[in-house]
């Protein structure tokens, strides 16, 4: 078997870099999905809560807040998380496409070598 050409090695390194970027994107997306789920549960709990005031964590302390204000903040957070999740989904798809294309290119180069 012949040694790999510099061009093929460069493509393989790019492929590894893309795979690393994909792994990172997937991890970020999982974290966002967890936050989304948590925010949705909190919103449901606030909708069921009848008191005008609730407590919310701020760092390592609890603060008292108006229920409606806390609900509004959570809904805004939920929308932001949905946008981030959507952006990460698009980024993940683009990286997968690049990996597919580059993988096919490398296989073609190896066959022609």
pLDDT at 113: 67
Residues 6+ apart with CB under 8 A from 71: 43, 46, 47
Q: Tell me the whole-structure pTM to 2 decimals.
A: 0.83
User: Can you say how many angstroms the Cα of residue 24 is from the centroid of all Cα atoms in its chain?
Assistant: 8
Q: In the predicted model, what is the mean pLDDT of residues 7-22?
A: 95
Q: Look at residue 3 and tell me whether its pLDDT is greater than 90.
A: no
Domains of the chain: 6-112 (1.10.287.370)
The phi, psi pair for 49, rounded to 5°, reads -75, 135
pLDDT digits 0-9 by tens, 38-72:
999 999 999 998 889 999 888 899 999 999 999 99
The percent of residues in the chain predicted with pLDDT above 70, rounded, is 97
Give residue 28's pLDDT band: very low, low, confident or very high (50, 70, 90): very high
Q: 31 and 88 in contact (C-beta within 8 Å)?
A: no
Asked if 95 contacts 21 with a C-beta cutoff of 8 angstroms, the reply is yes
Whether 110 shows a pLDDT value over 60: the answer reads: yes
Spatial neighbors of 16 by CB under 8 A, at least 6 apart, are none
């Amino acid at each position: 078997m012949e040694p790999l050409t510099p061009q093929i090695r460069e493509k393989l390194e790019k492929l590894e870099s893309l795979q690393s970027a994909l792994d990172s994107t997937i991890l970020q997306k999982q974290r966002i999905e967890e936050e989304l789920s948590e925010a949705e549960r909190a919103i449901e709990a606030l909708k069921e809560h009848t008191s005008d005031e609730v407590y919310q964590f701020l760092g390592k302390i609890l603060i008292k807040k108006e229920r409606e204000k806390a609900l509004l903040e959570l809904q805004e957070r939920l929308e932001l998380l949905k946008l981030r999740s959507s952006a990460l989904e698009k980024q993940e798809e683009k990286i997968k496409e690049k990996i597919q294309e580059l993988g096919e290119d490398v296989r073609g180069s190896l066959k022609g070598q």
